[in-house]
Amino acid sequence: MKSFFRQVFAMIRDNKLFSAIYIVGTAVAIAFTMVMVIANYVKIAPVYPEINRMRTMYLNTSVYVDSIHSSTMGSGFSPEALNEWGYHLKNAEIVSGNVRNMGMIRTEGDTHDYLVNMIFTDVNFFKVYPFRFKEGRPFTQEEFDGGVRVAVISDEQARKVYGSDKGVVGRTLFVNADTMRVVGVVESASPFTYHSYAQVYTPYSLWRFWPQPEQPYLGSLAITMVLPDANGEQALREEIEDVVRRHNLQNGEWQLKLNGQPVSHVQDALFKKDYFNEDGETNPIVDFIKKYMLILVVLLVVPALNLSGMIARRMEIRMAEMGVRKAFGATRGRLLRQIINENLLLTLLGGVLGLLLSWVVFYVFHTWIFALVDDNFCRNSNMGFLDTGQLNTMSWEMFFSPFLFICVFLFCFVLNLLSALVPAWLSLRKPIVNSMNVKR
């Protein structure tokens, strides 16, 4: 083994240009691939505080259709919908309602207002998203039911308005001119965990809902549900379909439609959605897989072809060496394994460099990258919901995961096989005499 590594590193020293092009070419291919992988991984991986993503489903939009007068109304859901059936779903372990909004806050004695991203929600929100509390607690059911003006804030916002995230609980906070009491400070979420990201969390019992008598379930709330296990999706869909069916039997002209909802977190994160169109639920998963498989093939095959050409030229130069080794008893299989192992080592060096490069690119340009690949991020950035915090906030677990390492090494292995196997095999098939006389 030591002799093998000495031989490989001697080859790298003797062929600096070839080795540099090989390693850098591999690194660039892997970096582009890993940027794409990381972008989609961050959207669906169970990262803080959205650790229940694989069991989470969403009802984002309620649509009422009057087929007689060809009218359509759509929005979120009302508190009545949650109280009448949402909180009583048998196939959901946790059900929560929330509405997002912008707000202005300031502290007592401060004349400067801060723009914040707010989530008005219920006590179950902190069960769906188990935030790490640095101080204090979430608001209670009694505070929610009584409309008590309390708020949980992020540590990022606490440091911004109070200068510290310690000793904040119990202090006064003016939110949109209303006086509130801080009851808890949580470790900040990331803007890339969109469903849980805010600087201020407060009861939605403080939110003003406008009742719609003819559309009683129409409101401002999005409903988030956590399944007891990952296999309960179909049962929950059937239960909600039954709720809608019974509601429509009693509701006259206006009929409630969910148009493919509830959706899983993967569907919500990866597919474009138009819940106002009955036939526009989501893009099929198969189409998504085909799209990204095509991208991966392009990123894999193009550099493999380039590297294969370089290796073929390199093998022509080494033909005499291969002939001598054959003459001394080296088998074709042994020589083939050596060549593949040599190129695998070069590919792994390129893979490590590519992984580091992808982290650097993602750290510097991740806002721009997410604006291209994430509909939720792009839409809410344009609406201003993400202008209130640290857009550079990405946790280490978003970059560093066993899944990403496995992707890198599998990519390296496949790239090595594609680029080295064919030219090495063709070269080693030539007779010993031809190999030894190649330079004559």
Q: Three-class SS string for the chain?
A: CHHHHHHHHHHHHHCHHHHHHHHHHHHHHHHHHHHHHHHHHHHHCCECCECCHHHEEEECCEEEEECCCCEEEEEEECHHHHHHCHHHCCCCCEEEEEEEEEEEEEECCCCCCEEEEEEEECCCHHHHCCCCEEEECCCCHHHHHCCCCEEEEEHHHHHHHHCCCCCCCCCEEEECCEEEEEEEEECCCCCCCHHHCCCEEEEHHHCCCCCCCCCCCEECEEEEEECCCCCCHHHHHHHHHHHHHHHHHHCCCEEEECCCCCEEHHHHHHCCECCCCCCCCECCHHHHHHHHHHHHHHHHHHHHHHHHHHHHHHHHHCHHHHHHHHHCCCCHHHHHHHHHHHHHHHHHHHHHHHHHHHHHHHHHHHHHHHHHHCHHHHHHHHCCCCCCCCCCCCCHHHHCCHHHHHHHHHHHHHHHHHHHHHHHHHHHCCCHHHHHCCCC
Which tops the pLDDT comparison, 346 or 180?
A: 180
Residue 35 has pLDDT above 50, yes or no: yes
Question: Mean pLDDT over residues 148-173, rounded?
Answer: 92
Lowest mean pLDDT among 2-6, 64-68, 79-83, 121-125: 2-6
Residue 297 has pLDDT above 60, yes or no: yes
pLDDT band at 168 (very low <50, low <70, confident <90, very high): very high
pLDDT for 84 equals: 93
89-107 pLDDT per residue, tens: 999 999 999 999 989 998 8
pLDDT band at 381 (very low <50, low <70, confident <90, very high): low
Residue 383 has pLDDT above 60, yes or no: no
Which tops the pLDDT comparison, 324 or 193?
A: 193
Lowest mean pLDDT among 48-57, 176-185, 358-367: 358-367
pLDDT for 179 equals: 92
pLDDT for 360 equals: 85
Which tops the pLDDT comparison, 434 or 400?
A: 400
pLDDT band at 317 (very low <50, low <70, confident <90, very high): low
pLDDT for 201 equals: 97
Question: Mean pLDDT over residues 167-171, rounded?
Answer: 93
- Reading the block at residue 105, the tokens are 């806050």
pLDDT for 325 equals: 65
Question: Mean pLDDT over residues 128-153, rounded?
Answer: 95
Residue 281 has pLDDT above 60, yes or no: no
Which tops the pLDDT comparison, 348 or 94?
A: 94
Residue 282 has pLDDT above 50, yes or no: no
pLDDT for 252 equals: 75
pLDDT for 338 equals: 75
Residue 424 has pLDDT above 50, yes or no: yes
Which tops the pLDDT comparison, 391 or 123?
A: 123
Mean per-residue pLDDT over the chain, rounded: 80
pLDDT band at 273 (very low <50, low <70, confident <90, very high): low
Q: Could you give the percent of the chain with pLDDT greater than 70? A: 77
- Reading the block at residue 230, the tokens are 């990952």
Quote the CA–CA distance of 201 and 395 in Å, as a whole number.
21
Residue 440 has pLDDT above 70, yes or no: no
pLDDT band at 146 (very low <50, low <70, confident <90, very high): very high
Question: Mean pLDDT over residues 232-252, rounded?
Answer: 90
The pTM score is 0.78
Q: Could you give the percent of the chain with pLDDT greater than 90? A: 32
Residue 422 has pLDDT above 60, yes or no: yes
Nearest CA to 275 among 285, 261, 264, 287?
261
Lowest mean pLDDT among 94-98, 227-231, 293-297: 293-297
